[in-house]
Structure 1
Amino acid sequence: MEMSWFHSFSPTTFVLVVIVIVLLYLYSTWTFSTFKNMGVRGPTPWPFIGSMLEYRKGMVIKDLEWSKKYGKVFGIYEGRSPMLLVTDPEMCKQICVKHFSSFRNRKAIPLRSKPMSSGLFQLADSRWKVTRNTLIPSFSGSKMRLMSPLISRCADELIKNMEAHCKEGKTVQCKELFGGYVVDSIASVGFGMDVSSQTQPEHPFVEHAKVAFTFGVFSPAFAIVFFFPFLVPLLNYFEIPLLPKKTVDYFAQVVEEAIKLRKSDECASQRVDFLQLMINAHDVYDEYVKNKEDEEDRDEGVNRVEFIKDGAHSPVNLSKGLSKDEMLAQSIVFFIAGYETTNTTMSFVCYNLATNPETQVKLQREIDEVMRNYDDVGYEAVSKMKYLDMVVSETLRIFPPPSRFNRECNQDVNINGINIPKGMTVSVSPYVIHHDPDNYPDPEKFIPERFTKEEKEKRHPYAWIPFGAGPRNCIGMRFALIEAKIGLVRVLQKFTFEPCAETEIPPVFGKQLILSPPNGIKLSVKLRA
């Protein structure tokens, strides 16, 4: 009875089934000799899933294990796609800086859904360079000085919320409180918007940012891209997005409304924020499309070189126009990437201070001393706080937001004796580099003094890479740091953090690409005496 289904197969059907199974197996394992032929060690992959089943323990945990077992350069498979994983500072420098021309681009997700296909992470070659050069002036030191009062103002509500928790004796969920502050800061400084998410914790802005962050990693489209890349053309044909359409539409509406308000304000063109630079660049693009007669040039947007103004006086040379999709994509990326990474970093800083009370006291003393000379917490005051910088730098060493960043090889190249073929993805693990005892003795210990000037000079310059490395590093690094530091200083002026019964020691990591605690960071907070 049990075998009746087997006998129901005709010989022809049985042969076809066997052929299909064999072909699927061959397809799924065809690339698995890549690293053996390159002389690179690594874990044995499984058909279809490659090395990814091992990530059930968590990406950073497994990368650390593999590095100890196979060395500082080893090969893994994302599905059937070979990826060279690098955990050596010098090789990171070779790939991201010295041989940048061979590794210009990130590995793009091959979905053409608009507008995210026009995001800075997805753009390649000259189009990436054009877009990045357009946005860079938003994050200069002079802009940070202008933005710091707005950022500090967003911390006012954060302080009120902290005080309420103190009065009620509540445990503080750091990610929730800091998340509201970060959202308000990004909206205010980047787009001139008043979101007030700290007084409205269920604000749709926050909810959609969370959805976008989690959905992109766990969506069916993401799984198909990695495990069944031959189905990607089908996804593109049906225009299946990586992010939910509802979330993309929400952010699109937010940005559209901000642009309309900005264009209706005659003085708005003098602003120097992220949104205004994109509006200026979009105006250049529109003018180009209107005036160009050649249809092919209009479609491709080639050679659109113009001169745009960053504010009233400072010119930005050789900036080119941004299309509407490119504007929207950069806005969404700015919202999403800035929300999770800065929020998590601030939470981890407070965790480190709570579990290292002597460090917290030392930092508070520095803050008190520096602030005797300043009326407000701003760019100048924060830049004087050397110990604060050490605390934040050491936190980013232990808990770097991206557990990996990648580059795609665009031509055959030999790096440190390894022949890397064109088309191969190379991934660098900041977490493993930061936790390598060759770079940092007792790597699990929180020791801010590792980042004195003298100690930094002893180490390889690429032994600390929480924001990536080379020309494609994080464009928002300056903003993220000043935003985090201002918020932390404002909080530490009035409060002290302590562990509580709900504090996870050590923190539990999620299994996403961004190093983030799924349960948040829960601490006790008290008013300073």
Structure 2
Amino acid sequence: MEFIRNMMDSDVKSSFITFSLGVASLVSFLLYRYLTSTFTYFSERGIPGPKPVPIFGNLWGIWRVNLPQHDRDLVKKYGKIFGFFDGSNPSLWVTDPEIIKAVFVKDFDHFTNRRNMTFESKIVRRMVSSARGQEWKDIRSSITPAFTSGKIKRMSTLIKACADQLAIKFNRIATSEGKLNAKTQFSAFTMDVIARCAFGMKIENLGEKDDQFMAKAKAIFNPPVNKTPLAVIPFIFPKLIPILGERLFLTEGFQFFIKLLENLIKDRTASKQKYQDFVQVATEAITEYTKEVEGKSVPKWNVEEIEEIVIAQSVLFLLAGFDTTATTLTNIIFLLALNPEIQTRLYDKIAKKIEIFAEVNHEMLIDFPYVDQVINEVLRMYPPVPRVERECNKDVIYKGIHIKRGTIVTVPSFALHYDPDNYPEPEKFNPDRWTADNKAERNPYTFMPFGMGPRNCVGMRFAIEEIKIALCTMIQQFRFFPVAETPDTMQFEKGFMQVTQPVNAIVGIERRTAE
């Protein structure tokens, strides 16, 4: 009897194990089907692309690659239009100028929004970069007056003061060391510009070892999470951000600047003093923005909302203007060091301008095509933002390609800028690509360092003014050249970076003698 009972128990256990394995297999199969259910989206439409894997799609390992080169390799392999998956979410990658024009300009109303990240923070949601739909239109319209030519001209005096302080640092470095880490120095400069122009602040120890202001800003753009699988979570599972905790992505540094702006605005509310910085101008512009209610114009936002919107745009101004501009200036000095004949040509043209205007200033830059050519060519070779995205909000068809609502359209800017169909000898640094005649022959939708169309970078003109003043001030006084640590080509940090991070940007520096 004991033997029979043991046999029955064994049969029950065996049946239970078999049943459990069957259920586990079925669950695994259904989960696999669910996770891969969209993976035929592009193949059914005859669109090529890399093969995705469950959960990650095509993002597996993206946190350990060189993103600019990775994107160029994909376009070289799959062409100007192909499919890519952020987890199970389809993204159409394009470097075709006709589709870029349609998405970013012609049919912009079908692609108004950027990728939707489900942050609960009101400050993040109200940033003009992440706001959506009508709210984006209202915020964009309300802050545009803060970036008029007149406002930028007034800020140019402050920018020049910051550039003069940077020149003093450069002179000290040229005398004592003879070489400099361009990114470190330009980061301190751009933070100084933003502190003065945006917040009316002067920070004495910027760039020094005990400078927490800079340390927190740098941590935002190059956090350790960018080099781990956690970096892709907002792209694969955007709705998990609130569950996992926004602090994983909105770092301590981010919170530091939000608190800084909150305190600054409270202090100003209690004071009658007027400032001519971005916070003041934006507050006035946003406060004056109205809506129609029963035939009457009334304020669009209440006091609390206005404060949130001002803080959001001010933090964005700091974040967007700090690292991208510092990176661009670093790339300019690096390429000029490697191309002395172009550096000499630029110096000669600056010197002739100085003969007329006596110093670097806003008026000097108004009609100065060669400095524009140099900056544009650097932005072509090293765009600071490696990918530009828009979300489709209505089914559309371009060139026989059906783009469904919810699909992300991605333009990999490095691949676009290095396409030999657009730029012959793309690896060559050649500012003459940007002469008036050469520009007229080129499709304008092949150059996107600041985005494109109605949702391009709202602070673009401010950034260009800042770059020009710093560049002309430095080239007027200093010569840059390669040293042993200078790489042959610019190297960028590996990882899932939203802004490219130059590494080993060491160049030689010496003060110019009278030439």
CA distance in 2, matches of 1:327, 1:384: 33
Q: Is 1:276 matched with 2:259?
A: no
Which residue identity lines up with residue 89 of structure 2 in the other structure?
S
Q: Is 1:43 matched with 2:79?
A: no
Distance 1:505 1:202, change over 3 A: farther
Q: Is 1:31 matched with 2:15?
A: no
CA distance in 2, matches of 1:148, 1:115: 28
CA contact (8 A) 2:287 2:301 kept: no
Partner of 1:101: 109
Which residue identity lines up with residue 254 of structure 2 in the other structure?
V
Q: Is 1:121 matched with 2:105?
A: no
Partner of 2:83: helix, strand, or coil? strand
TM-score, normalised via structure 1 length: 0.87
Distance 1:441 1:199, change over 3 A: closer
CA distance in 1, matches of 2:296, 2:40: 45
Partner of 2:166: 158
How many angstroms does 1:499 deviate by? 0.7
CA distance in 1, matches of 2:438, 2:22: 67
Q: Is 1:134 matched with 2:142?
A: yes
Partner of 1:315: none
Distance 1:493 1:407, change over 3 A: same
In structure 1, which of residues 250, 268, 277 is the aligned counterpart of residue 256 of structure 2? 250
Partner of 1:346: 329
Distance 1:303 1:501, change over 3 A: farther
CA distance in 2, matches of 1:380, 1:24: 63
Distance 1:8 1:501, change over 3 A: farther
In structure 1, which of residues 195, 208, 223 is the aligned counterpart of residue 232 of structure 2? 223
Distance 1:91 1:54, change over 3 A: farther
Which residue identity lines up with residue 252 of structure 1 in the other structure?
I
CA distance in 2, matches of 1:118, 1:242: 20
CA contact (8 A) 1:134 1:277 kept: no
Q: Is 1:361 matched with 2:344?
A: yes
CA distance in 2, matches of 1:272, 1:247: 26
Distance 1:248 1:402, change over 3 A: closer
Partner of 2:404: 421
Partner of 1:313: none
CA distance in 2, matches of 1:320, 1:92: 38
Distance 1:36 1:167, change over 3 A: same
Q: Is 1:372 matched with 2:388?
A: no
Distance 1:172 1:238, change over 3 A: closer
**What runs of 5+ residues in structure 1 fail to find an aligned partner?**
1-5, 308-317
Distance 1:500 1:225, change over 3 A: same
Partner of 1:314: none
Superposed counterparts of 1:289-368, under 5 Å: 306=298, 322-368=305-351
Q: Is 1:519 matched with 2:503?
A: yes
Partner of 1:172: helix, strand, or coil? strand
CA distance in 2, matches of 1:303, 1:459: 48
Partner of 2:463: 480
How many angstroms does 1:141 deviate by? 1.1
CA distance in 2, matches of 1:226, 1:42: 18
CA contact (8 A) 2:220 2:251 kept: no
CA distance in 2, matches of 1:242, 1:280: 34
Deviation per CA, 1:31-53, whole angstroms, max 9, x where unpaired?
10000122211111111111123
Partner of 1:193: helix, strand, or coil? coil
CA contact (8 A) 1:138 1:272 kept: no
Partner of 1:75: 83
How many angstroms does 1:201 deviate by? 4.9
CA distance in 2, matches of 1:222, 1:70: 25
Deviation per CA, 1:320-353, whole angstroms, max 9, x where unpaired?
9843332222222111111111000000000110
CA contact (8 A) 1:467 1:474 kept: yes
Which residue identity lines up with residue 258 of structure 1 in the other structure?
L
CA distance in 2, matches of 1:508, 1:350: 14
CA distance in 1, matches of 2:262, 2:205: 19
Deviation per CA, 1:128-160, whole angstroms, max 9, x where unpaired?
011111111111111111110100101122111
How many angstroms does 1:195 deviate by? 2.1
Partner of 1:311: none
CA contact (8 A) 1:151 1:483 kept: yes
Which residue identity lines up with residue 343 of structure 1 in the other structure?
A
How many angstroms does 1:278 deviate by? 3.0
Counting aligned pairs with the same residue, the percent is 34
Superposition CA RMSD, Å: 2.8
CA distance in 2, matches of 1:344, 1:248: 19
CA contact (8 A) 2:386 2:500 kept: no
Which residue identity lines up with residue 10 of structure 1 in the other structure?
I
**What runs of 5+ residues in structure 2 fail to find an aligned partner?**
1-12
Partner of 1:312: none
CA distance in 2, matches of 1:430, 1:415: 20
Deviation per CA, 1:100-140, whole angstroms, max 9, x where unpaired?
11111111212223421222221111100111111111111
Deviation per CA, 1:389-448, whole angstroms, max 9, x where unpaired?
111110000011111111110011112221111111101122111101111100010000
How many equivalent residue pairs?
Answer: 497
CA contact (8 A) 1:130 1:320 kept: no
In structure 1, which of residues 397, 401, 422 is the aligned counterpart of residue 380 of structure 2? 397
CA distance in 2, matches of 1:8, 1:223: 41
Partner of 2:351: helix, strand, or coil? helix
Distance 1:221 1:128, change over 3 A: farther
Deviation per CA, 1:216-259, whole angstroms, max 9, x where unpaired?
74687653333345xx25x4257534544532332123213332
Deviation per CA, 1:339-387, whole angstroms, max 9, x where unpaired?
1110000000001100000000010111111011223322111223221
CA contact (8 A) 2:181 2:507 kept: yes
Partner of 1:426: helix, strand, or coil? strand
Which residue identity lines up with residue 497 of structure 1 in the other structure?
F
Distance 1:279 1:388, change over 3 A: same
CA distance in 1, matches of 2:136, 2:496: 25
TM-score, normalised via structure 2 length: 0.89
Q: Is 1:60 matched with 2:68?
A: yes
Which residue identity lines up with residue 375 of structure 1 in the other structure?
A
CA contact (8 A) 2:143 2:286 kept: no
Q: Is 1:266 matched with 2:272?
A: yes
Moved over 4 A (4+): 6-9, 216-222, 281-285, 302-307, 318-322
Q: Is 1:18 matched with 2:1?
A: no
Which residue identity lines up with residue 263 of structure 2 in the other structure?
E
How many angstroms does 1:57 deviate by? 3.3
How many angstroms does 1:70 deviate by? 1.9
How many angstroms does 1:453 deviate by? 0.4
In structure 1, which of residues 442, 450, 459 is the aligned counterpart of residue 442 of structure 2? 459
CA distance in 2, matches of 1:242, 1:305: 42
CA distance in 1, matches of 2:207, 2:500: 24
CA distance in 2, matches of 1:221, 1:284: 41
Partner of 2:492: helix, strand, or coil? coil
CA contact (8 A) 2:196 2:277 kept: no
